[in-house]
Amino acid sequence: MCGIVAVTGYKRAMPLLINGLKKLEYRGYDSAGIAVINSETKKIICNKAEGKLKNLINNVSNIDIKGTVGIGHTRWATHGKPEVKNAHPHIDNSGKVAVVQNGIIENYQELKIKLEKEGIIFNSDTDTEVIPHLIQKELHALSQLELESNGSTLLVAVRNVISDLEGSYALAILWTGAPDSLVVARRQAPLIIGIGEGEFICASDTPAIANLTKIILPLEDEEIALLNPLGIEIYNSNNERQFRNPISLQTSEQVIDKMSFRHYMLKEIYDQPETAKNWLDKFLIKDSDTGQLNINYNFDTKFFESIERIEIVACGTSKHAAMVGSFLLEQFAGIPTNVFYASEFRYSPPPLLPNTLTIGVTQSGETADTIAAINMEIQRRSSMSDEKYKPNLIAITNRVESSIGRKTSNIIDICAGIEIGVAATKTFFAQLLSFYGLAIKFAQVKGSQSEKNINQLISELTNLPLLVEQLLEKHNHSAEKLAHDFFNVKDVIFLGRGINYPIALEGALKLKEISYIHAAGYPAGEMKHGPIALLDKKVPVISIAIPGEVFDKVISNAQEAKARDAFLIGVAPECNGTEIFDHLMPIPSINEWISPLLAIVPLQLLSYHIAAHRGLDVDQPRNLAKSVTVE
């Protein structure tokens, strides 16, 4: 989380920084700040504001800072409350060094105590503030050696300091002693350098750069770089100069319009028929001889043949998509599959098994825990001498140019387009589709399903754009009406079974993250083992009941809730059995296999309307960020 941006060149820094921060606000909106070296006085001018970026923009709207070198930050609070004093940039006691950081310095307490004993005064509660103080201390020590005061001196000082830091960081640093230079460094958190016309701009993510240049140099892990208007020097952790060619940025700057929608989230829910269409156009190809529709993933059949089991790592909504994926991979394609919270996997991975495929699922491609879990798996498998244990990776992401995209060439691009709302909707839908593609591919290669079953599933998928469009039409208004009745409830329980258990989890996550109403999802059969004690007439129960393997069971579980006075809402087709629901959110009668792709839509709409009715900031819910780059 947190977005950083930094610039050096010939243009005024402030507008470039503000523009970059606008594109990074999805990474956190607890506070924002900028620091620029005034080109006349050579002093650092810093401005910070609590809350959203617009507050900083108000602060600086009438200030004309003449300076071409600067840094900016948009914060998601980790250490210290979202207050101005904790907003970045942080500045050392002499006022000469300014730092912005994305990450967590895990040993900051120890460093802080030491610095305080030396007389340094801390002005914030953050972990970051130790960095400018440590750099100033290093610069002071270097000045005793009578080194020239220039960017290289800053580079040496920063290198010495980061060797003492534990944890993860992306850093950008200004020093008045080298007023045209910037030093940037990264460990585990992303940082990209853009080569513009007349400036170098660094940022946590490409959208902050894309309007200035399409030529980028992603900084690799543990690298440090010195930038001034004349050039860039990049060094690795052994202090060896790195030379590499810039790459061109594939994504163009996209201006995403809310159109007539009140919030991006609603627009993105409405984008889903098109998401389905794009996915089908890209990944379903017709064999010109047989007319047979096939999944067009870019890995050869041998790749699929060698796999005996699958492990999937993901967080949040991506984990829910992975759980549906796991169900499909096991039950449809017959491959033993386990899903792990990436944050758990990285500290307690299962014992290594041979011929395992590891799948990382992350729409942003930058989730720290998912990246760390993948890194850990690559590392421990690469150290094995037996080929059978070597890493096999697939990344499922919406950002092919992201950190996860750079880990492997086996990428499934979910092609959902930019998602602005912090709550994932269309990216979840597209992740689900990616797993359908994988399950079909595995089922074909392993022969675990008949051709007829496979063709039937493919044919059901081709109906999705229309089905989802109809669902949206049918449900938007009724979900809004239902939201009027339920916007004030305290708890909601979501129930699902089998392939729709993860949809119950996702329905609950959507509701709680944007409406701040407590919601929990359970496998319907688990209700009676504890959660049923929560039920009374004030607790609505939303049950996903799809005719198929577990329909009768889910209906019985719903009956049990009704017997405890719960108000029952069903997400189900209009069919026998569903009359028990006090309110039905009808979905078409479809094959159970593809039901998650439809069942999620009314749940997204209901959450949206409840949050909107409560007057909340649906697109930027409190305490959250779109890209979670700290552990």
Taking the complex as a whole, the smallest distance from the CB of residue 3 to ligand M6R amounts, in Å, to: 14
The closest alpha carbon to 57, from 90, 29, 98, belongs to: 29
Catalytic residue among 2, 46, 202, 315: 2
Tell me the three state secondary structure of residue 591.
coil
E strands, 250-366, are 284-286, 293-295, 309-314, 337-341, 356-362
SS3 content of the chain, % helix, strand, coil (to 5): 40, 20, 40
Nearer to ligand M6R, 228 or 370 (CB): 370
Stretch that binds ligand M6R, among 15-23, 224-232, 316-324, 460-468 (CB under 6 A): 316-324
Nearest residue to ligand M6R, by Cβ distance, number only: 316
Q: How far apart are CA 423 and CA 514, in angstroms?
A: 7
Nearer to ligand M6R, 137 or 320 (CB): 320
Judge whether 575 counts as a catalytic residue.
Answer: no
| CB of 128 closer than 8 Å to CB of 90 | yes
Strands 491-496 and 518-523: parallel
Contact pattern for ligand M6R over residues 468 through 507, marking x by CB under 6 A: ----------------------------------------
Nearer to ligand M6R, 225 or 600 (CB): 600
Contact pattern for ligand M6R over residues 571 through 610, marking x by CB under 6 A: ----------------------------------------
- 624 makes contact with ligand M6R (CB under 6 A): yes
Catalytic residue among 267, 319, 426, 626: 626
Stretch that binds ligand M6R, among 135-143, 566-574, 608-616, 623-631 (CB under 6 A): 623-631
Nearer to ligand M6R, 76 or 108 (CB): 76
The closest alpha carbon to 584, from 553, 542, 521, belongs to: 542
Nearer to ligand M6R, 458 or 514 (CB): 514
Q: Which of 50, 513, 619, 631 binds ligand M6R (CB under 6 A)?
A: 513
Amino acid at position 356, single letter: T
Q: How far apart are CA 509 and CA 515, in angstroms?
A: 10
Residues with Cβ within 8 Å of 630's Cβ and at least 6 positions away in sequence, in order, are 1, 2, 76, 78, 102, 103, 104, 168, 189, 368
Q: In the structure, how many helices (H) and strands (E) does the chain have?
A: 17, 27
The closest alpha carbon to 107, from 161, 160, 182, belongs to: 161
Nearer to ligand M6R, 161 or 313 (CB): 313
Taking the complex as a whole, the smallest distance from the CB of residue 279 to ligand M6R amounts, in Å, to: 17
Strands 31-37 and 69-75: antiparallel
| CB of 70 closer than 8 Å to CB of 35 | yes
Q: Which of 315, 505, 571, 610 binds ligand M6R (CB under 6 A)?
A: 315
Q: Which of 80, 316, 540, 547 binds ligand M6R (CB under 6 A)?
A: 316
Nearer to ligand M6R, 12 or 27 (CB): 27
Taking the complex as a whole, the smallest distance from the CB of residue 362 to ligand M6R amounts, in Å, to: 3
Binding positions for ligand M6R, 418-447, rule CB under 6 A: 422-424
Stretch that binds ligand M6R, among 60-68, 196-204, 301-309, 311-319 (CB under 6 A): 311-319
Q: How far apart are CA 440 and CA 499, in angstroms?
A: 16
| First-to-last C-alpha distance (Å) of the chain | 9
DSSP string, 175-206: ETTSTT-EEEEEEBS--EEEE-SSEEEEESSG
Taking the complex as a whole, the smallest distance from the CB of residue 405 to ligand M6R amounts, in Å, to: 12
Judge whether 626 counts as a catalytic residue.
Answer: yes
Stretch that binds ligand M6R, among 159-167, 204-212, 309-317, 381-389 (CB under 6 A): 309-317
Q: Which of 532, 628, 630, 631 binds ligand M6R (CB under 6 A)?
A: 628
Q: How far apart are CA 203 and CA 8, in angstroms?
A: 12
Nearer to ligand M6R, 188 or 228 (CB): 188
Total residues contacting ligand M6R by CB under 6 A comes to 16
To which residue do tokens 């950002």 refer? 399
Contact pattern for ligand M6R over residues 343 through 382, marking x by CB under 6 A: -------------------xxx--x--x------------
Taking the complex as a whole, the smallest distance from the CB of residue 366 to ligand M6R amounts, in Å, to: 7
Strands 199-203 and 192-195: antiparallel
Stretch that binds ligand M6R, among 75-83, 185-193, 315-323, 557-565 (CB under 6 A): 315-323
What is the sign, positive or negative, of the torsion defined by CA atoms of 208, 212, 215, 221? negative
| CB of 577 closer than 8 Å to CB of 551 | yes
592-630: string of b/e by CB count within 10 Å (b at 16+)? ebbbbbbbbbbbbbbbbbbbbbeebebbbbeebbbbbbb
Taking the complex as a whole, the smallest distance from the CB of residue 170 to ligand M6R amounts, in Å, to: 17
Nearer to ligand M6R, 168 or 317 (CB): 317
Nearer to ligand M6R, 134 or 313 (CB): 313
Taking the complex as a whole, the smallest distance from the CB of residue 179 to ligand M6R amounts, in Å, to: 37
Residues that bind ligand M6R (CB under 6 A): 315-318, 362-364, 367, 370, 422-424, 513, 624, 627-628
Q: Which residues are catalytic?
A: 2, 626
